[in-house]
Amino acid sequence: MTSHQQEWFNEILNTSWVLLGPNQLVQPKRDENGIWTIGNITTDDEAIYKSCPDDNIQNISEFYLIHHDWQVAILKRYKPAIYFCAFGNEAILQYVQLAVNSLIQFGKWQHDIIIFTGLETKENLISKLAPFNLGGKLHIIDIMPADKPLDWYTARYRIDACPLLQQAQPILYLDVDFLCDGPLDSLFIQLIDSPYIHACKEGVIGEGSPNSEGHWYGWRLMQADHVPFNPDERGFSSGALFYKNFQLAAPFFKMILQSAYGYIQKQKDKLVSYDQRFANYILYKYKKVEIHYLAQYLRLYRIPENTTQTPDINDRLGLVHFLGATLENKLLTMQDYFSQLNARITSSSQHNISKISTMIV
């Protein structure tokens, strides 16, 4: 076996892959006779070696395998990442702490977590997240510029600032006021080859009136740029953005950044909707967004005014986005929901231990 062949074999064996059609997460295995098992595929060394790229083995994102002379398989490297952006006051950093904790405890997340922040908050974040012992899975990146609100709200689109995101696939951005209440790997596996940026549908694009400001879903930007739109169709929240890799999203994210900064500078506009109207404008213009699939995994929960009422714990999908409320009330609501999830898991574990003990007796 040549050194190049051995390198390729090792790369396949030491990496998790998603086998497409239908998508399934696989961990390839090779026995002493050179027979490989990859999901429901059985093949041999010769077929595996023929799939080897000429160079740059460690950086490939996918490969094609021809087995049994004519059958074709595509395998995508499974290296998922979730990232957040955290700037501003103490409550925001506490949101992040809760969000990351929920990913670990309730999402069973074992992959990379990335946080974009400013120099002035970086050390505080490191301290807050240290108890989770994430080691090399946690990456805190200071983003520049980060001097004003527009910098903070558009930081999610600065994915070129993080080399790790350029190698990850798939990728999920989440606002800091999210909690994870269930496993997420199935979402990442199913959408690993999607050609779209996925977001969660929200209010109607026209905001209910031809006299509305167009702050939330960008209809006035679309109108000014002669982009066809239906005011009664749904816009989307930019609080969660799922995409298969850097290469898909980077050109559109760059457009969103340039559009937002150019418009705000020219119009001296108040940043009422933060980045969201620009994301809707760009991604709808180029037909690059899909707004229905994430609803299988994500709930948008608007906290009732002047309360800390939590969502129903029995309606768990995987992610909850807490909307509305003051910073303080939102934090209390998130903490309460986290405690309920923790109590549910503790109760379930104790019940299972009790059942096992009864069976042993």
Q: List CB contacts of 103: < 8 A, sequence separation 6 or more.
A: 82, 109, 113, 180, 184
Q: List CB contacts of 335: < 8 A, sequence separation 6 or more.
A: 98
Q: Are 27 and 135 in contact (CB under 8 A)?
A: no
Q: Are 79 and 167 in contact (CB under 8 A)?
A: yes
Q: Going by DSSP bridges, is the β-strand pair 178-180/319-323 parallel, antiparallel, or unpaired?
A: antiparallel
Model confidence pLDDT, tens digit, residues 161-209: 999 999 999 999 999 999 999 999 999 999 999 999 999 999 999 999 9
3-state class of 320 per DSSP?
A: strand
Q: Going by DSSP bridges, is the β-strand pair 319-323/298-302 parallel, antiparallel, or unpaired?
A: parallel
Q: What is the pTM of this model?
A: 0.94
Q: Is the dihedral of CA 254, 111, 73, 14 positive or negative?
A: positive
Separation of alpha carbons 281 and 273, rounded Å:
13
Sheet holding 29-30, edge to edge: 29-30, 35-38, 41-44
Model confidence pLDDT, tens digit, residues 138-154: 999 999 888 888 899 99
Query: What DSSP assignment string belongs to 142-200?
Result: E-S--SSHHHHHTGGG-GGG-HHHHH-BSEEEE-TTEEE-S--HHHHHHTTT-SSEEEE
Alpha carbon of residue 126 to chain centroid: 21
Q: Tell which residue, 235, 239, 200, 240, has the closest CA to residue 221.
A: 235
Q: Are 226 and 316 in contact (CB under 8 A)?
A: no
Q: Are 213 and 272 in contact (CB under 8 A)?
A: yes
Strand partners, 26: 17
Q: Tell which residue, 301, 286, 304, has the closest CA to residue 240.
A: 301
Q: Tell which residue, 181, 187, 186, 188, has the closest CA to residue 107.
A: 181
Per-residue pLDDT of the chain (361 residues; tens, 9 = 90+): 788 889 999 999 999 999 999 999 999 999 999 999 999 999 999 999 999 987 789 889 999 999 999 999 999 999 999 999 999 889 999 999 999 999 999 999 999 999 999 999 999 999 999 999 999 999 999 998 888 888 999 999 999 999 999 999 999 999 999 999 999 999 999 999 999 999 999 999 999 999 998 889 999 999 999 999 999 999 999 999 999 999 999 999 999 999 999 998 888 766 666 799 999 999 999 999 999 999 999 999 999 999 999 999 999 999 999 999 999 999 999 999 999 999 998 876 554 544 544 445 4
Query: What DSSP assignment string belongs to 29-41?
Result: EE-TTSEEEETTE
Q: List CB contacts of 1: < 8 A, sequence separation 6 or more.
A: 9
Q: Domain 81-342 class?
A: alpha beta
Relative orientation angle of helices 276-285 and 246-267, to the nearest 10 degrees: 120
Q: Going by DSSP bridges, is the β-strand pair 171-174/24-26 parallel, antiparallel, or unpaired?
A: unpaired
Q: List CB contacts of 24: < 8 A, sequence separation 6 or more.
A: 18, 39, 189
Segments making up each domain of the chain, as ranges = 3-77, 81-342
∠ Cα 268 260 221 (to 5°): 85
Q: Are 168 and 81 in contact (CB under 8 A)?
A: yes
Separation of alpha carbons 18 and 76, rounded Å:
5
Model confidence pLDDT, tens digit, residues 212-243: 988 899 999 999 999 999 999 999 999 999 99
∠ Cα 328 333 334 (to 5°): 100
